[in-house]
A and B are shown apart, each in its own frame.
Chain A
Amino acid sequence: MRENIPDQPGSLIAPRPAPPERKLPWGRLDAFWLLLIAALLAAGALRAQGAFSYEWNWSSVWPYIIKTDPKTGQWAPNLLVQGLLTTLRLALWGMALALAIGLLMGWMRNHPRLLLRLISASYVMTVRNIPPVVFVFVFVYFIASQFMPSLALDQRLSELPASAQEVLAVLFGPAALINNFFLGLVCLSVFSGAYVTEIVRAGLQAVPPGQAEAARSLGMSEGDSLRFVVWPQALRQVLPALSGQFIQLIKDSSLVSLVSIQELTFMAQDVQVSTQRVFEVFVLTAAVYFCICFVLSQSLAYLERRHARAR
C-alpha cells in the first residue's frame, strides 16, 4: 500500500488492519486421509461380520433396563438401572473420598517430618505397584474384613428415623446393601487416592518456593501461607490431571464388581448370564460408561477454562 509509506524519515508507520485470517486448516490431502481411514474401518467391519456370524438381538436386553412391576403393573428400574445408580453413587462419593485421601497424603508426601513422608510414600508405592485386581481382593478380604463388621453400618442405619433412612437411601443406596456399598467405596477410594496423592504432590512441588517465602516475609503464618497462597495455586495447576484421574476412577469402579458390589458391571454380567446376549449387554454398558465419563470430562474442561481465564 503506497499511501502507508511514511513521507518523513524516522516517523512511525501507521497501524493498518491485519489481513483476513486463513480458512480452516483443511486441505485435499486431509480429505484423502479421512476417506482412507473410513474405508479401512468399513473394510474391517465387513470382515468382522464375515468372520463370526453373530445375530444381534436387542429385544431381550431392554426389559433389564426398566421392568413392569408384576404386582402393581407400574414401571420400575430393573437390574441395569439399579447398577447404574450404584455406579454413580460409587463415582460421586469415591471422588470425594479419593480427593480427601489425596489431599492429606499429598501434603504428607512433602512434609518436613520423615515419619509422615514415609507413611504416605509407603501407601503410594504399595497401591501403585500391585495389580488392581489383586489390590481389590487383598483389601476386601484381608483388610476391610478387620473393621467393616465392627462398624455394623446396616444395624446403625436401621435405628435411625424413617425420614433420615430415606435420605440415606438416596445418597448411599438400599439399606440392606449398605455394608456392601461402603466396602466397595472405601476400596475404590483407597485405590484411587494413591494416584491423587501423586498428583497433589506434583502440584505442591510445582508452586515456586518464592510464593511461600513471600507469604512468610509478609508475616503470614505457615498455615495461612498454605491455605491462601500455596494450595490454591497447587490445585489450579493439577486440575487437568485430576480430571483425568476422576474419569479413570469411574471406570475403575467396575473393579469392585469382582467382590460382588452390585454396580453396573456386576449387573451387566448378571444380565449376560440370564439373557445370553453377551455383546449387546457389553455394548450397552460401554455406552453408558462413555456417557458418564464424557459428561464429566466436558464439565471439568469447562471448569478448567474458567480457572484458566482467572490467571
Chain B
Amino acid sequence: MIRAARLTLIMPTKNSPVREGAPMQFTFFHLMPWPDLKEAPTEWPAPNAEFNGERGTELYDSYISTMADAEKYGFDWVAANEHHYSPYSLMANCNLVGAALAQRTKSIKLAMLGNLLPLLNPIRVAEEYAMLDVMSGGRLVAGFVRGIPHEYIAYNVAPSESRARMREALALITKAWTEPEPFGWESEHYQYRSVSIWPKPRQKPHPRILLSASNEESAEFVGEHTAMLGMALIADLDSALKAIETYRRVARGYGFDPSPDDIVIMQQAVIADSDEQARALMEPALKYFHGVLMRPQLDAQRIVLQKSRFFGTDTQREHFVGRLSKLKARTLEDQIEAGSVLCGSPESVVKQIKRLRQHLGAGHVILNMKIGNIADGVVRRGMELFRDRVRPHVAAL
C-alpha cells in the first residue's frame, strides 16, 4: 500500500536526451576486486593480513585507467559503487574514484551506483555528489542504494532502520540540492538545524537519480520516487520483469512514465573472440567471485538476516537469499540461458542484449566486466569487442 502523504517526490530530471525509441545506453562498471586471495575466508569480516599496499596501488592505477578508458570504448557512463570490509571490492568510497575519473575524462557520465545512504551522513553525500557534478561539468548520475546486509555491521547501523534512514536521507539530500534558502531538517534519524551546502549541483534541478531494486518492495520505492531503476544480479528474467512492472505501475501513479533508458540492468559480462573462449574465461572468474570473494559476505548476511528486519517481510528475505543461492548454484550455461549474465562472442552478446531489451524493456545495460580475478587484459579486449562488434548492432534497438 502506498502512502502518498509520506513520500518525497524527486523531480524527474529529464536532462538526458535519451527517450523512447532512442539508442540503447551502456555503462562500464568496475567493482575493484582483490584478485589474489589463495583461499576463501571462512567468516566475516575477511582478515586483512594478506593486503599488500604496493599491490593495492598497482590495482588502483590499473582499475582507474581502465575505467577512464571506458570513454574511448564508447560507453555512455562509467560506474562505481561502495562496499566495506571486503576483498570483494576495494571501493570503500566510490566518490574518490569519481573524483579521479572527473579529471581523466571529458564527456562520459560518472555514475556513482551508489553511496550506501542509510550508513552515511546525508549532508556529506549531498556535498560530495554536488562536488562531483560541478567538477565533472555536470556529468554525475546520482545513485543511492540501501546496500547489502553485511555493510550494516561494518558501519554499526541497525539493519532494521535501513528503510526509514534511506527514505529520510533521500528526501534531505534532494532538499539540500534544491532549496533556495538555508533550512533546517527534522526527521526520526536525521536532525540538522541549519543546512546550506556549497557547492550545489551544476545540473538543475539536480542530477538524475538512480535507485536500486531487487524485489517488488524496493521497485515500488523507486517508482514512488520517480527515479531510474537499477537492477543487478538478476536470477531470471521473469522475476526481474515482475519488479520492473511494479516500478512502471507505481511511477505512473506519480505522473512519471518511465522510458526504456530509465530501466538499467547490470550484468556480469565477458565478451571474447569466441563463445568457447568467453565461457572458459568466465567460469573460473565466477568461481573465484562466488566461492572466494563472496564467501565472507554470505556469512555476514546469514548473521544479519537471522537477527534483524533488514527486509520488510519473510518473503522478501527469502527472495534475496534464494536469488544469491540460485546464482551461485547454477552452471554458467544455466546463467546465460536465464539472462543472468552476458557471456560469449560479440554476436552472442548482441543476441543476449536484444533479449534484455525485448523481455524487460531495458534501455540501459551496465556491463560488469572485471569479474573476480579475471585478467585486466581480458577486460580490455572485451571493451574493444564491445566498441567494434557489439555496440554498433544494439545501438538502435
- Is chain B found bound to chain A in the same assembly? no
User: A-contacting residues of B (Cβ < 8 Å)?
Assistant: none
